[in-house]
């Protein structure tokens, strides 16, 4: 995995080199042979075509990026290519987990907006998405507002603005944006946002239903998007205790996109719950090998712990801090993840509280409130109004459910 | 005390395998929903209409959609959408009602073009990406559908940079000093095209290929719902206020004069004032002579393309592939030409057009060599509005929209007429 490219600022004109050598296509091809064995489910005869699609898509994406990078290189004001690149980098970041692609997207979108400050919808949407990924919800909101006022009939603007609104705790407005978005284009990007919101409000029926609709409305979108939706639904089922349904969704995700890391991690959790620790460990190891994100490493560590391998677990826990530092270098704000990790594992509890409280103060949204609720000590002197509002959204969020401040 | 509580909770989570909660926490962690992928197949980019080089009694009509296809994406993006249909309307009497309509759609496998409205239904195989062009010849009608090089040539990025800073004079074409040299934004990229060649008499309903006038426009539908309509791409976008754009797309040319003509003339007048202030030189007439804003506005609306077959069929009396419509559009709208003219500095396509059907050059990434385009001279014709293309781009849907928005921005920035502040272009 490529980590942050040092010394690149958003003002840099030249794009950092793309990790074509990362060899996603090759990795996918290798994953193909493993997919059926890993999944252990489904009709293998039907597995091959979508898997090949995912491989072709990844290869085509790298070629497309190379094509538009060459154009952007050749023409200093080619905002058209820069906007294409920003979107492609964002999608590739989803697929590879390479956080430096967020940086590339930021550079491309920023440069595009410098060339064309007005009437640059695509640049605004891409930069808003980058800011959201960086947890800079206020900036994402400003950009999202501009996008929506520029093109009030385009669903993409409502998507990024709604995400930012959710991030800053303006839930009703976020819901309004998502509803507007789904009216304009009832496909996965809009439906998945409604599903996420339904989950946060504790509406289990709508959550499952919206995810199902998302899965049914993925035509024309990257295979990763569909795999991601299956994985999200799997996560919902798992949280609801419906392990076998969760297993089916994770398996479906891995059929669509072999080696889809969140699905590997989800399936690892399923196997653990099914008391199949060896398979769980194997899946979690694969997830970490492909994408050493803090949540994957933590999962593996927890599984080691459960298997009685305390030393292996300790090594993984130590890794989390190092990975977090690299994410920070790339401008990805992982404060909340870190706070939760600390709280979950009895490490640096005071710091966890400080981080979560600071994050909540800076952006009192659903995610910061959730984290704060989780790390808040039991002897808090007085209840926090924001917390109450967040819990009023619903009871289903795992941390809210289990926290009793 | 607290530590032990959390430890218990953590253990409980571990024991239950509730790790999925981790995935719901933070940004950049696969919780984020993906962005929309634009589907530009329902927006027509460009429409061309020219006399056939192989048979001067025939007219060729080409429609392009789905722009900026990188050669590596030929297979994935070089497919028509079965949910989208394209209509070409023809008015022969001058009442803008549209007596005839040809409708183009594709089958569910997206491998066959289906044409209705030209006598019996015609089906034609769609040329797959990478294959030599498949030309269907039925009853004097030729058909092609598939990938082609994008015939549109325009320094879109230079134009945009220019209108983003409309108080600076460009150094080369529309580009400022330090902004590089004029370049065709669509060079090296492909589009999906439908090309049809029919006898001119079939279009006009007349008996001679050298007489008769038609007024044509196109529309698109997705799943039976009107999405778009256009005769003159892009410039309508400037003329129609944002609140009326959907209604405009739903209405037909017959209603355009009453609805939009006065506004259009005002916009042109404001544009001219803005450019005059910037360039500091007088208008000396465009490529079609010295035309008032009213004359140009009257030609722009109703939103149809008029072709008089008694005159040479070239822009703006139709549109040949090689016509430099951007320079012509700038000249006509701004009433400028010659030494006082404004041009984008890109005067030809990056690939030579073919001398025979389907005329559009082979797609990039394809194998077949192009032959030089035929040249048919001539000039004159009735004043028809400039057709500048309407590329609803895959990752950049706003670019052609921004072209028109750019015109508009130019007007607002320099002209400052309050009424135009209400106009906002939309992305198609």
3-class secondary structure for B299-321?
A: HHCCCCEEEECCCCCECCECECC
Q: Tell me the C-alpha distance between B331 and B337, whole Å.
A: 6
Highest mean pLDDT among A26-40, A384-398, B128-142, B405-419: B128-142
Residue A295 predicted with pLDDT over 90: no
A373 or B360, greater pLDDT? B360
Which of the residues in chain B have pLDDT under 50?
1-30, 367-428
Tell me the average pLDDT of chain A: 81
Question: Which chain B residues are closer than 8 Å to A156 by Cβ?
Answer: 35-36, 38
The pLDDT value recorded for residue A266 is 97
A118 phi and psi angles, rounded to 5 deg = -105, 155
The pLDDT value recorded for residue B241 is 60
Q: Tell me the C-alpha distance between A346 and B382, whole Å.
A: 82
- A24 SS3 class: helix
- Return the percentage of chain A with pLDDT > 90, whole number: 54
Task: Please check whether residue B355 lies inside any domain of the structure.
Answer: no
pLDDT tens sequence across B74-122: 988 899 999 999 999 999 999 998 888 999 999 999 999 999 999 899 9
Q: Tell me the C-alpha distance between A364 and A371, whole Å.
A: 11
Q: Tell me the C-alpha distance between B312 and B379, whole Å.
A: 7
The pLDDT value recorded for residue B234 is 58
Host domain of residue A331: 2-403
The pLDDT value recorded for residue A237 is 97
Question: Which chain A residues are closer than 8 Å to B398 by Cβ?
Answer: 119-122, 151
- CA-nearest of B40, B43, B32, B1 to B220 is B43
Best residue of B5, B8, B10, B17 to probe chain A, by most A CBs closer than 10 Å: B17
Question: Which chain A residues are closer than 8 Å to B179 by Cβ?
Answer: 76-77
The pTM (predicted TM-score) of the whole model is: 0.80
Closest residue on chain A to B157 (Cα): A78
pLDDT tens sequence across B115-162: 999 989 999 999 999 999 999 999 999 999 999 999 999 998 988 787
Residue A364 predicted with pLDDT over 70: yes
Domain count, chain A: 1
The token pair at B239 is 């003329």
The pLDDT value recorded for residue B181 is 94
Domain count, chain B: 1
Closest residue on chain B to A348 (Cα): B3
CB pairs under 8 A between A and B: 247
Q: For position A326, which CATH number holds?
A: 1.25.40.10
Q: Tell me the C-alpha distance between B33 and B48, whole Å.
A: 40
The pLDDT value recorded for residue A271 is 98
For B79-118, b/e burial (b = at least 16 CB within 10 A) is bbbbbbbbbbbbbbeeebebebebbbbbeeeeebbbbeeb
The mean per-residue pLDDT over the stretch A366-391 comes to 60
What are the respective helix, strand and coil percentages of chain B, to the nearest 5? 30, 20, 50
Residue A394 predicted with pLDDT over 60: no
Residue A244 binned pLDDT confidence (cut-offs 50, 70, 90): very high
| Residues 354-413 (B) with a CB less than 8 A from some CB of A | 393-399, 401-402, 405-406, 409
Closest residue on chain A to B245 (Cα): A153
The pLDDT value recorded for residue A149 is 92
Q: Which residues fall within 8 angstroms of residue A37, CB to CB, at 6 or more apart?
A: none
CB A261 within 8 A of CB A300: no
The mean per-residue pLDDT over the stretch A83-112 comes to 93
Residue A20 binned pLDDT confidence (cut-offs 50, 70, 90): very low
Q: Tell me the C-alpha distance between B151 and B189, whole Å.
A: 9
Q: Tell me the C-alpha distance between B307 and B90, whole Å.
A: 11
The pLDDT value recorded for residue B330 is 85
Residue A40 predicted with pLDDT over 60: no
pLDDT tens sequence across A6-17: 333 333 345 655
pLDDT tens sequence across B338-347: 888 888 999 9
* Yes or no, beta carbons of A346 and B396 under 8 Å apart: no
Q: Tell me the C-alpha distance between A89 and A98, whole Å.
A: 9
In angstroms, the Cα distances linking B284 to A396, B269, B277, B302, B324 are: 71, 15, 15, 26, 20
Host domain of residue B69: 5-350+384-425
Q: Tell me the C-alpha distance between B309 and A317, whole Å.
A: 79
In which element (H, E) is residue B5 found? helix B2-16
Place of tokens 């994770």: A250
For B165-181, b/e burial (b = at least 16 CB within 10 A) is ebeeebeebbbbeebbe
Locate all alpha helices (DSSP H) within B280-410, ordered by sequence.
Answer: 293-300, 325-334, 398-410
Asked if A235 is an interface residue toward chain B (Cβ–Cβ < 8 A), one would say yes
Q: Tell me the C-alpha distance between B247 and B263, whole Å.
A: 16
* Yes or no, beta carbons of B160 and A238 under 8 Å apart: no
How close is the nearest chain A Cα to the Cα of B208, in Å?
45
Give A244: exposed, middle or buried? Use CB within 10 Å, 0-12, 13-18, 19+: exposed
- A69 SS3 class: helix
Place of tokens 């048919």: B376
Asked if A276 is an interface residue toward chain B (Cβ–Cβ < 8 A), one would say no
Flag the least confident range among A206-220, A335-349, B328-342, B402-416: B402-416
Asked if B7 is an interface residue toward chain A (Cβ–Cβ < 8 A), one would say yes
């Amino acid at each position: 995995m490529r980590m942050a490219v040092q010394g690149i600022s958003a003002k840099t004109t030249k794009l950092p080199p793309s990790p074509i050598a990362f060899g996603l296509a090759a990795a996918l091809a290798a994953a193909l042979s493993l997919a059926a064995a890993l999944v252990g489910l489904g009709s293998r005869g039907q597995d091959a075509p979508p898997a090949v699609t995912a491989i072709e898509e990844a290869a085509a994406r790298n070629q497309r990026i190379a094509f538009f990078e060459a154009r952007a290189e050749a023409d200093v004001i080619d905002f058209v290519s820069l906007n294409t690149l920003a979107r492609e980098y964002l999608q590739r970041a989803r697929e590879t987990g390479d956080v430096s692609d967020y940086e590339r997207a930021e550079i491309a979108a920023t440069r595009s907006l410098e060339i064309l400050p007005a009437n640059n919808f695509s640049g605004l949407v891409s930069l808003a998405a980058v800011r959201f990924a960086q947890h800079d919800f206020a900036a994402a909101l400003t950009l999202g507002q501009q996008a929506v006022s520029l093109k009030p009939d385009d669903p993409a603007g409502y998507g990024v603005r709604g995400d930012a609104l959710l991030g800053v705790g303006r839930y009703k407005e976020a819901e309004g944006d998502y509803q507007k978005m789904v009216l304009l284009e009832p496909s996965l990007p809009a439906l998945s946002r409604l599903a996420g919101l339904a989950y946060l409000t504790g509406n289990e029926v709508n959550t499952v239903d919206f995810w199902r609709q998302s899965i049914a409305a993925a035509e024309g979108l990257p295979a990763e998007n569909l795999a991601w939706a299956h994985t999200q639904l799997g996560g919902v089922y798992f949280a609801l205790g419906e392990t076998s349904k969760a297993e089916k969704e994770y398996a479906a995700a891995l059929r669509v996109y072999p080696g889809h890391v969140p699905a590997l991690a989800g399936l690892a959790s399923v196997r653990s719950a099914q008391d199949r620790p060896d398979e769980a460990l194997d899946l979690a190891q694969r997830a970490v090998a492909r994408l050493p994100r803090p949540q994957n490493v933590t999962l593996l560590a927890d599984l080691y712990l459960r298997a009685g391998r305390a030393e292996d677990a300790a090594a993984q826990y130590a890794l989390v801090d190092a990975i977090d530092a690299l994410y920070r270098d790339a401008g990805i704000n992982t404060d909340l993840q870190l706070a939760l990790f600390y709280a979950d594992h009895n490490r640096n509890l005071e710091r966890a509280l400080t981080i979560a409280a600071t994050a909540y103060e800076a952006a009192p949204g659903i995610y910061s409130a959730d984290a704060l609720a989780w790390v808040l000590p039991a002897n808090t002197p007085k209840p926090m109004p924001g917390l109450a509002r967040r819990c009023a959204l619903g009871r289903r969020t795992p941390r809210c459910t289990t926290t009793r401040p | 005390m607290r530590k032990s509580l959390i430890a218990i909770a953590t253990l409980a989570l571990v024991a239950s395998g509730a790790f999925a909660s981790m995935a719901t926490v933070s940004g950049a962690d696969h919780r984020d929903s993906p962005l929309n992928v634009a589907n530009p197949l329902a927006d027509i980019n460009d429409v061309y209409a020219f006399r056939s080089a192989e048979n001067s009694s025939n007219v060729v009509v080409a429609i392009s959609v789905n722009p900026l296809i990188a050669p590596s994406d030929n297979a994935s993006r070089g497919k028509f959408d079965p949910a989208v249909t394209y209509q070409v309307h023809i008015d022969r009497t001058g009442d803008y009602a549209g007596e005839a309509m040809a409708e183009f759609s594709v089958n569910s496998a997206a491998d066959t073009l289906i044409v209705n409205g030209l006598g019996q239904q015609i089906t034609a195989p769609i040329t797959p990406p990478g294959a030599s062009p498949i030309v269907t010849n039925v009853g004097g009608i030729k058909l092609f559908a598939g990938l082609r090089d994008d015939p549109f040539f325009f320094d879109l990025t230079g134009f945009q940079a220019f209108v983003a800073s409309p108080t600076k004079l460009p150094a080369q074409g529309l580009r400022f000093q330090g902004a590089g040299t004029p370049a065709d934004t669509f060079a090296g990229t492909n589009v999906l095209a439908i090309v049809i060649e029919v006898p001119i008499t079939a279009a006009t309903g007349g008996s001679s290929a050298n007489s008769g006038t038609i007024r044509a426009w196109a529309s698109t539908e997705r799943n039976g719902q009107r999405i778009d309509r256009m005769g003159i791409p892009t410039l309508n976008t400037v003329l129609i206020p944002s609140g009326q754009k959907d209604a405009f797309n739903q209405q037909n040319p017959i209603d355009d004069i009453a609805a939009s003509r006065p506004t259009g003339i005002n916009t042109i007048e404001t544009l001219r004032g803005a450019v005059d202030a910037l360039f500091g030189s007088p208008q000396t007439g465009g490529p079609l002579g010295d035309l008032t804003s009213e004359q140009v506005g009257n030609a722009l609306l109703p939103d149809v393309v008029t072709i008089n077959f008694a005159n040479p069929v070239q822009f703006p009396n139709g549109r040949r592939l090689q016509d430099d419509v951007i320079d012509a559009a700038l000249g006509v709208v701004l009433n400028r030409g010659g030494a006082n003219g404004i041009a984008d500095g890109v005067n030809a396509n990056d690939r030579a057009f073919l001398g025979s059907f389907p005329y559009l050059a082979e797609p990039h990434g394809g194998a077949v060599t192009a032959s030089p385009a035929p040249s048919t001279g001539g000039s004159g014709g009735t004043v028809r509005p400039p057709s500048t293309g309407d590329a609803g781009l895959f990752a950049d849907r706003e670019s052609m929209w921004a072209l028109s928005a750019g015109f508009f921005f130019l007007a607002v920035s320099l002209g400052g007429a309050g009424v135009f502040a209400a106009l906002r272009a939309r992305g198609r």
